[in-house]
Chains A and B, each alone.
Chain A
Amino acid sequence: MSSNMNDCAYQLWDERRGKIQSKKGGWVIGKGIFNHGYSMMDDLVGKVSYMQVMVLNATGRLPERPVADWFDAIHICLSWPDPRIWCNQIGALGGTTRASVVAATTAGVLAADAKSYGIKPLIQGVRFIQAAQIDFKRGLSVGEVIRNECAKHRGKPNIMGYARPLAKGDERIVAMERVQQELGLPSGEHLQLARKIEQSLLKDFDESMNINGYMSAFLSDLGYTDEEVYRIFAVLVTSGVTACYVDTRDKAPDTFLPLRCTDIEYSGTLARPVP
């Protein structure tokens, strides 16, 4: 068929032209503001936390308050004001060039949409532990689960959620386990498996679980999918980026980590005339 289409070829688009059909909610002027079936002003404001509504909007499900409080705490763990961290440095660079706080913060948030740190490793962490749990239930041992994963990385223990980059050990797990206990949230089968994997990795590779591994397992126990986790944590680095922005915004412009010309190593073609 050429680009001359019959009517039914674009019927879908005609049906949606000029209309919005939302599964989420909206503002019905004179009647109220609705969110996933809740009346925002009657059911949510003053009755649930902001974090509960954040998760509701990301997943369509309103979590219980203790779970939302856990989300609140983990967000504190995942962003801190150190401008050496890549997304935070973008915030700091925004401050030193007098970008707006919104531009700098969103730029830093966008930078954390990354594979090596930030949000994307969470997707991999959830996928790993959920697949491992299926294998474990099928009868594979913890050792076999680890060996299969390591085989994908030439035998190295490059398992998402274990072996923290830059440093060994993760103090954030200690804090979050304390929070989890205080909130009365139990450890389910994914988290129990994650700890068994950690024990094995410690024995064989001297590598432990990192915060990604802990939260991936805990969130899997709560029934969240990898995509839902990605959506919930879309702006997970925001507070640290803003802090780094503020630090440089309140100092003289262009004074953050200044570079002399020779502080950049040129390794390209030597000077030549333009033909």
Chain B
Amino acid sequence: MTAERRKVESRNDVFVERTATKIWQEIESTNNPYLADSCLCHGYDLLELTQKCSFVEVFYLLFRGELPDADEARLLEQLMIALINPGPRHPATRAAMNAGVGSTDREHILPIALSVYGGSHLGAGEVEPAMDFLRKQRKHDPRQLAHELITNGTPPQEGDWHIAPGFGSRFGGVDPMATKIANHLSGLPGKHETLLWGCAFANALNGHSLGWLAPAVAAAVFTDLGFSPRAGAGLFQLLGAPGLLAHGVELSNKPVTAMPFVKDENYVIKYE
């Protein structure tokens, strides 16, 4: 292949002239086209929303295009409270704490923590696959499916087994908090077809030390509320963000000695 043959020619792809959105409209002010005089979210004036709606209603509106009914708003709000903090032992929170105690610039604490919270094990990376799984499987008998997966699946040699996205063991057992949250949310007024299916599936797994994990609880609620699986990862990150930030900020004015530093005798270098 000669250099001549590698001559570069544009494919002349056609790109749009303007980015389009169905979410947000900014009406320009009369004397400066760069300044917005008013903003509309799916047709609703932002300032009118601030006066008549709750945060959770506008949050739902952003992603779904319509305001939720009372049952939908309650379900989403209670999920947001339930998942507001992954807890001080979650690796993402510990990332926030490391950033905080290390005097990392404070505006970086949340992006750092959210990057770790994007992982596919107990993180946002598990939510979209869990939504896909639930959407596909909720038509089938949850007990039969659990039996098939347990019979045909192979647990890992070491560590927790996620038998399906968002379902499995945590520290070798069933996560009681994820189970309680799912059971509570499934008892709220409204239609929770996916959540109820997930409860039946988790119940069928329970005898094998497997069950609900937080990403699937979120995935089931997101599915029942009609959110797109493509939004699942980011929504999960948004819901956990307050706790991640709070823990990072809590340590951000402390010395580095405020967190353990593994002692030399407990740091073992062992090459394979």
Q: Let me know if A103 and B107 touch, CB within 8 A.
A: yes
Give every chain B residue within 8 A of A262 (Cβ-Cβ): 28, 33
Q: Let me know if A265 and B44 touch, CB within 8 A.
A: no
Q: Which of A258-275 contact B (CB under 8 A)?
A: 258-275
- Shortest CB-to-CB span from B180 to chain A, Å, is 10
Interface string of B6-47 (1 = CB under 8 A from A): 111111010010111111111110000111100010111100
Interface string of B48-67 (1 = CB under 8 A from A): 11001100000000000101
* Also in contact, A274 and B53, with CB within 8 A (given A3-B173, A167-B11, A168-B8): yes
Chain B residue at minimum C-beta to C-beta distance from A1: B209
Give 7 nearest A-B pairs by CB, closest first: A268-B22, A9-B172, A269-B43, A261-B28, A5-B173, A266-B25, A265-B20
A174–B159 CA distance with the chains assembled, in angstroms: 47
Q: Which of A47-94 contact B (CB under 8 A)?
A: none
- Shortest CB-to-CB span from B11 to chain A, Å, is 6
Count A-B contacts at CB 8 Å: 167
Q: Let me know if A260 and B34 touch, CB within 8 A.
A: yes
Comparing A18-26, A120-128, A154-162, A243-251, the segment that makes contact with chain B is: A18-26
Q: Let me know if A267 and B271 touch, CB within 8 A.
A: no
* Also in contact, A21 and B270, with CB within 8 A (given A10-B173, A29-B264, A272-B44): yes
* A231, CB-defined interface residue at 8 Å: no
Q: Let me know if A168 and B26 touch, CB within 8 A.
A: no
Q: 25 A-B Cβ contacts within 8 A?
A: A2-B206, A9-B171, A18-B260, A22-B268, A36-B271, A100-B107, A103-B108, A166-B13, A167-B8, A167-B10, A169-B6, A170-B6, A173-B1, A173-B6, A208-B5, A209-B1, A265-B16, A265-B18, A266-B20, A266-B25, A268-B24, A268-B42, A271-B43, A271-B45, A274-B48
Q: Let me know if B1 and A171 touch, CB within 8 A.
A: no
Chain B residue at minimum C-beta to C-beta distance from A26: B269
Q: Let me know if A28 and B8 touch, CB within 8 A.
A: no
* B174, CB-defined interface residue at 8 Å: yes
A103–B25 CA distance with the chains assembled, in angstroms: 29
Q: Let me know if B6 and A267 touch, CB within 8 A.
A: no
- Shortest CB-to-CB span from B256 to chain A, Å, is 15
Q: Let me know if A261 and B5 touch, CB within 8 A.
A: no
Q: Let me know if B18 and A168 touch, CB within 8 A.
A: no
Give every chain B residue within 8 A of A102 (Cβ-Cβ): 108
| From A4, A5, A209, residue with most partner B Cβ within 10 Å | A5
Q: Which of B244-272 contact A (CB under 8 A)?
A: 260, 262, 264, 266-272
Instruction: Give the interface of A toward B (CB within 8 A).
Output: 1-5, 9-13, 18-26, 28-29, 34, 36-37, 100, 102-103, 107, 110, 165-171, 173-174, 195, 198, 202, 208-209, 258-275
Q: Let me know if A264 and B268 touch, CB within 8 A.
A: no
A170–B3 CA distance with the chains assembled, in angstroms: 9
* B175, CB-defined interface residue at 8 Å: yes
Give every chain B residue within 8 A of A174 (Cβ-Cβ): 3, 6
Give every chain A residue within 8 A of B24 (Cβ-Cβ): 264, 266, 268
In the complex, which range does the number of interface residues on chain B fall in?
35 or more
A272–B41 CA distance with the chains assembled, in angstroms: 10
Chain A residue at minimum C-beta to C-beta distance from B13: A166
A102–B111 CA distance with the chains assembled, in angstroms: 12
Interface string of B187-229 (1 = CB under 8 A from A): 0000000000000000000111100000000000000000000
* Also in contact, A268 and B267, with CB within 8 A (given A168-B9, A174-B6, A261-B36): no
Q: Let me know if A264 and B172 touch, CB within 8 A.
A: no
Q: Let me know if A269 and B22 touch, CB within 8 A.
A: yes
Q: Let me know if B271 and A37 touch, CB within 8 A.
A: yes
Give every chain B residue within 8 A of A103 (Cβ-Cβ): 105, 107-108, 111
Q: Let me know if A3 and B159 touch, CB within 8 A.
A: no
Chain A residue at minimum C-beta to C-beta distance from B40: A271
* Also in contact, A20 and B262, with CB within 8 A (given A169-B9, A262-B28): yes
- Shortest CB-to-CB span from A213 to chain B, Å, is 12
Q: Let me know if B8 and A171 touch, CB within 8 A.
A: yes
